[in-house]
């Protein structure tokens, strides 16, 4: 009888330890998603700060391209608003508009040799391109963290702990297919 009691207590202790390990792993995954989003957020803020400088540098040369500049600034504001609200889906949609606007801006800048030669413009164009690449890298890392989180909270026995303690799915940061396509330069100049 005593041995059976020790076996039962041992099994209960083992189940409790296993539940604690699952809980701690789920907490780790949740924080990994938060950290990945924070990394994207930093880059979005940096780009947000650089865009007005780029637009101002362009404005001095591109007197007849106000619509392109305004689209970039409106898209910048939409990304900022979505980021501030923490709305991942809205950030994805706003990012699409901003990337398209930047692509158009850089393409239109090709028609202004003085602008292309301006060191401030060149520096800002390089800086924003680097930020774009970093955002793409961080987005990949974020989506991987989200995927790991979402898979774990649906797997058995993790799902039992996840439901009990309110671990929910995170949302992928997705851009529409058109966002990844190259800008049609020919169409811009027709």
Report how far Cα 4 is from the mean position of its chain's Cα atoms: 54
Q: Are 98 and 3 in contact (CB under 8 A)?
A: no
Q: Structure pTM?
A: 0.68
Span 11-22, pLDDT tens digits: 999 999 999 999
Across the range 164-180, mean pLDDT stands at 76
Tokens of 113: 């040799």
Span 24-47, pLDDT tens digits: 999 999 999 999 999 888 888 888
Delineate the domains of the chain, giving CATH numbers in brackets: 14-188 (1.20.1440.20)
- Does residue 49 surpass a pLDDT of 90? no
Report how far Cα 78 is from the mean position of its chain's Cα atoms: 14
- Does residue 113 surpass a pLDDT of 80? no
Average pLDDT across the chain, whole number:
83
User: What's the CA gap between 163 and 149, in Å, rounded?
Assistant: 13
User: What's the CA gap between 166 and 144, in Å, rounded?
Assistant: 21
């Amino acid at each position: 009888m005593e041995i059976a009691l020790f076996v039962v207590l041992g099994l209960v202790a083992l189940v409790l330890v296993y539940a604690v390990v699952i809980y701690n792993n789920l907490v780790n995954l949740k924080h990994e998603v938060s950290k990945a989003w924070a990394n994207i957020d930093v880059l979005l803020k940096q780009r947000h700060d650089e865009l007005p400088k780029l637009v101002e540098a362009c404005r001095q040369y591109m007197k007849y391209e106000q619509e392109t500049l305004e689209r970039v600034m409106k898209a910048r504001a939409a990304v900022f608003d979505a980021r501030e609200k923490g709305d991942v889906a809205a950030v994805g949609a706003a990012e699409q508009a901003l990337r398209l606007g930047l692509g158009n801006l850089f393409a239109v800048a090709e028609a202004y040799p003085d602008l292309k030669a301006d060191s401030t413009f060149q520096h800002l164009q390089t800086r924003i391109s680097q930020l774009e690449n970093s955002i793409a890298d961080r987005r990949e890392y974020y989506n991987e963290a989200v995927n790991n989180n979402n898979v774990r909270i649906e797997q058995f026995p993790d799902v039992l702990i996840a439901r009990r303690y309110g671990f929910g799915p995170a949302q992928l940061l997705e851009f529409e297919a058109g966002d990844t396509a190259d800008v049609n330069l020919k169409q811009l100049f027709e």
